[in-house]
Structure 1
Amino acid sequence: MKELYLMRHGQTLFNKLHRIQGSSDSPLTSQGIADAKEVGRYFDQINLTFDHAYSSTQERASDTLENITNQPYERLKGIKEWDFGVFEGQSEQLNPDPQIDPIRHSYGDFFLQFGGESDIQVQQRMNQTLTEIMEKPDHNRVLVVSHGGACFAFLKKWLSYEEIQKQVTNFHNCCILKFTYSDKEFKFIKEINVKSL
């Protein structure tokens, strides 16, 4: 059974300032760097190694990965953050109600009218990219650093909203979601929060 460790990047300046940062980018804070290094120490302590590592093409994800491990990695556009269109870089106070689409339990199609993506578009590209990664030979245990919105959209592909509420309690920066993979299907195993261990 293959394993995927899907991780949210470390804290950034925009996280700290409560700004929307989908396709836009901002640097890791000193806290974000420290938390990423702590994840690396945790992996070393439990002797967890990865056949391959990937990050999104965004700097905050690749910088997080480089603070976790020295192993070579590949950057992929398919696992970048949700594109929020003209809302990029603006205050998070301008976001709509997160439950604006009560059926999909998300922003739904809201950002399409502003040049961004829908939750379904994000989910489809995340699932396609992560499936392609896990289908590669010698990819038995893989570390992927992505983003909060993108990871949540992917999680909703494989868990109901009610199951997510029960099983994912603190999806903060540097949180890790562990999945197993077989026959083109992902199974959520657990949430790992190194800071709370």
Structure 2
Amino acid sequence: MSDKNKGKVTLYLMRHGQTILNKAGRTQGWCDGVLTKEGIEVAVNTGLGLSDVKFKAVYSSDLGRAIKTAQIVIKENKASGDLELKEFEGLREVYFGKYEGEFEKIKFKAILDFLNVTSFEEMAEKYDFQRAYCDSCAALDETHEAEDYNTALKRFVTTINNICIENEEDGGGNILIVVHGGMLRVFIEHLDKNFDIRNMDNSSISKVAYENGKFKVESVNDSSYSEKGKAMRQILK
């Protein structure tokens, strides 16, 4: 492929809409909750806010909450024509093993106790937070199924790289990828530690540019598209 055919790829990394497990404060990695009424509404708002963005392609993880969110955005998009959703297992959330479906506060306490710290703030001071978080879950999981940091990051980055290379060689463009909050934190911190990744709101957008084999984080946890869509809906009432 000639370099002249290559183009910049802009990834619109969207976290899925709120689910019943999110709302209940339960751990949600590979286990899957349906979107709440509010989750659907905010996803529609974000879809409307993105409706004038011409997407070249749309991808999601193969988990239902990400698929449903992506389908909502595709339905609301007016600028792109026909978009076919492509689902990849490699875009899944981190797998938390025995903690799947568990109350998050129970998992959080287990991690803090394992690392011998009293708070996430202390944990962030003493450890590489995202790595310690994933590795602690894996170490505490007697089923030996939970993913450690390196395993989760490798499969996600490999999948994202393949998506970027394919689209870069086809002229570049805007790409929507609907994924998950924990995996987004791991990925973005891996690329650039200067962004605040503590909050990754449902249906928020984080933009990452890819060009000539290099990633650049442009924005994180942007809810302006949702706010724009909400305003559009009020005008239409």
TM-score by length of 1: 0.90
Q: Aligned pair in 2 of structure 1 residues 101, 54: CA closer, same or farther (>3 Å)? A: farther
Matched residues in 1 for 2:129 and 2:227: separation? 27
* Whole-angstrom CA distance in 2 between matches of 1:62 and 1:101: 36
> Does 1:72 pair with 2:84?
yes
- Residues 1-197 of structure 1 correspond to what in structure 2 (within 5 A)? 1-44=8-51, 47-70=52-75, 71-95=83-107, 96-97=111-112, 98=120, 99=123, 102-106=126-130, 107-113=133-139, 114=141, 115-136=145-166, 137-138=169-170, 139-160=172-193, 163-165=194-196, 168=197, 170-191=199-220, 192-193=222-223, 194-196=225-227
The one-letter code sitting in structure 2 at the alignment partner of 1:189 is E
Counterpart secondary structure, 2:60: strand
Structure in which a larger fraction of residues adopt helix: 2
Letter in 2 for 1:27: V
Which segment drifts farther, 68-77 or 82-91? 68-77
Distance 2:63 2:125 in 1: 28
**Greater Cα radius of gyration, structure 1 or 2:** 2
Counterpart code for 2:47? G
**How far has the Cα of 1:38 moved from its partner?**
0.7
Q: Per-residue deviation at 1:101?
A: 9.0
Counterpart Cα distance in 2 of 1:117 and 1:104 = 16
Structure 2 contact 45–227 (Cα < 8 Å) conserved: no
Please, which moves more after superposition, 57-66 or 132-141? 132-141
Deviation of the 1:171 alpha carbon? 1.8
Q: Which runs of 5+ in 2 are unaligned?
A: 1-7, 76-82, 113-119, 229-237
Counterpart-to-counterpart distance in 1, 2:25 and 2:206: 23
SS of the aligned residue for 1:89 comes to: coil
Measure how far apart 1:93 and its partner are: 1.0
Counterpart secondary structure, 1:109: helix
Q: Aligned pair in 2 of structure 1 residues 62, 89: CA closer, same or farther (>3 Å)?
A: same
Q: Which runs of 5+ in 1 are unaligned?
A: none
**Deviations 1:83-127, CA, capped at 9 Å, x for gaps:** 000000010111224537943212041122312011222122111
1:170-195 Cα distance to aligned partner (Å, 9 max, x none): 42101111011012221000132134
CA contact (8 A) 2:21 2:28 kept: yes
Relative to the length of structure 2, the TM-score reads 0.75
Structure-2 separation of matches of 1:19 and 1:170: 17
CA contact (8 A) 2:14 2:206 kept: yes
CA RMSD, aligned part only?
Answer: 1.8
Give the partner amino acid of 1:22: G
Letter in 1 for 2:135: D
Deviation at 1:128, TM superposition (A): 1.0
